Structure 1
Amino acid sequence: MTRELVYTGFMSLDGVVDSPGGKAEGHRSGGWVMDTEFVPEAYSLKAEELADTTALLFGRRSYEAFAPYWRDSEDHAAYKELPKYVVSSALTEADLVDGWGETTILRSTEDVAALKQTEGGGIFIHGSAELARRLGEADLIDRYNLLVFPVLLGAGKSLFSRADRDKQQLRLTESASYANGVAKLIYTVQH
């Protein structure tokens, strides 16, 4: 039995996943999550995921953005002792954030495939659009936990490839919509 690999993230209605938290992340419309009316129940998915998360997986840029903040964040305290994996061809042990628990550097998609074959539960990818796109193309992602926001950004990083590929069937396993227009969509990939 393989470990479940889950992408979780915020997405605009037109499929953009970058810069949900602020302009410092690089997108000219950055901060689009904060521009949506705050309705607590729209974010309940994030708390629900904690029970399923046994490891975290990041691309280098998302790791460098999240690790220093999440290490000291009360909201993310449950992540501190979880094993963390960073996929990067350039990152070194010296680049890892101190005080945020065990972190292992993986070098390739093949390393992620091997990680999925180990003992343990769900591995969750936060942010990391380019990594998630590569892993999706390699049919390694098992589930997408998406919070889709009622905004059209027109440009930005997409979670899904635009390359011609074999059709991949998804099954909607859970959905909800909230007063602020956010929709929770959980899709299981049919392998």
Structure 2
Amino acid sequence: MISDEVLQSTDALLFGRRTWQVMAAAWPTRAGDPFADRMNALPKYVASRALGADDLTWNSTLLPGGDVLGAVRELRERDGKGLQVMGSASVARQLIEHDLVDEYRLMLEPILLGGGKRVFPETGQQRRLELVSATTTGTGVLMCTYRAA
């Protein structure tokens, strides 16, 4: 499964508060398949000013002071596979704005919703990308990996 491959190249996950709350409520009860087991085992970092360290479960750590940018810069200096953002549009937008994204893994779903949260900054700054890979799943999801050109 493609998603399994993505998680195998990840050392930790980064979430905003709302996405973490949804994921932490759902994933710990799932077990027995490689993706769920890996999701539950990975360390998680949470950007939040509303949650306290005592509120966190699911192998999660609160970023100090909610400082996403400083924490990600520090985490990037460590050796390892990588830090992955799932969902968390506002966190992703901040990382993109400050050139802290090395690779984009975009999933294009075969459905139009006509709305949603913006992931990309509205600054108008051009960021050239190169396509690394593109795969279509059996359900028609297009999985594209891009890196900064």
Return the alpha-carbon distance in structure 2 between the equivalents of residues 84 and 154 of structure 1. Answer: 31
- Among 29, 39, 49, the alignment partner of 1:72 is 29
Gaps of 5+ in 1: 1-43
- 2:85 alignment partner, one of 125, 131, 134: 125
Matched, 1:183 2:124: no
In 2: Cα distance, 1:147 partner to 1:120 partner: 24
Counterpart in the other structure of 2:74: 114
Shift of 1:179: 5.8
Q: How far has the Cα of 1:129 moved from its partner?
A: 1.0
Distance 1:172 1:73 in 2: 33
What is the identity, as a one-letter code, of the residue corresponding to 2:45? Y
Give the drift of 1:180. 4.5
TM-score for the superposition, normalised by structure 1: 0.68
Aligned to 1:54: 11
Taking a change above 3 Å as real, the CA distance of residues 179 and 57 of structure 1, as seen in their structure-2 partners, is closer
Q: Which residue of 2 aligns with 1:157?
A: 117
SS at 2:62 equivalent: strand
Indicate if the aligned counterparts of 1:177 and 1:184 stay in contact, CA closer than 8 A: yes
> 1:119 is paired with a residue of what secondary structure?
coil
Q: Residue 20 of structure 2 corresponds to which residue in structure 1?
A: 63
Say if 2:102 is the partner of 1:145.
Answer: no
TM-score (norm 2): 0.86
Shift of 1:149: 1.4
The whole-number CA distance in structure 1 between the counterparts of 2:41 and 2:109 is 31
Task: Give yes or no for the alignment of 1:85 onto 2:42.
Answer: no
CA RMSD of aligned residues (A): 1.7
Which secondary structure does the structure 2 equivalent of 1:173 belong to? strand
Q: Give structure 1 regions of 4+ aligned residues with deviation exceeding 4 angstroms.
A: none
Structure 1: distance between partners of 2:49 and 2:100: 19
Question: How many pairs were matched up?
Answer: 143
Q: Does the residue aligned with 2:27 lie in a helix, a strand or coil?
A: helix
Cα shift at 1:145: 1.2
Write out aligned runs for 1:13-28 (5 A): none
Higher RCO (CA < 8 A, seq sep 6+): 1
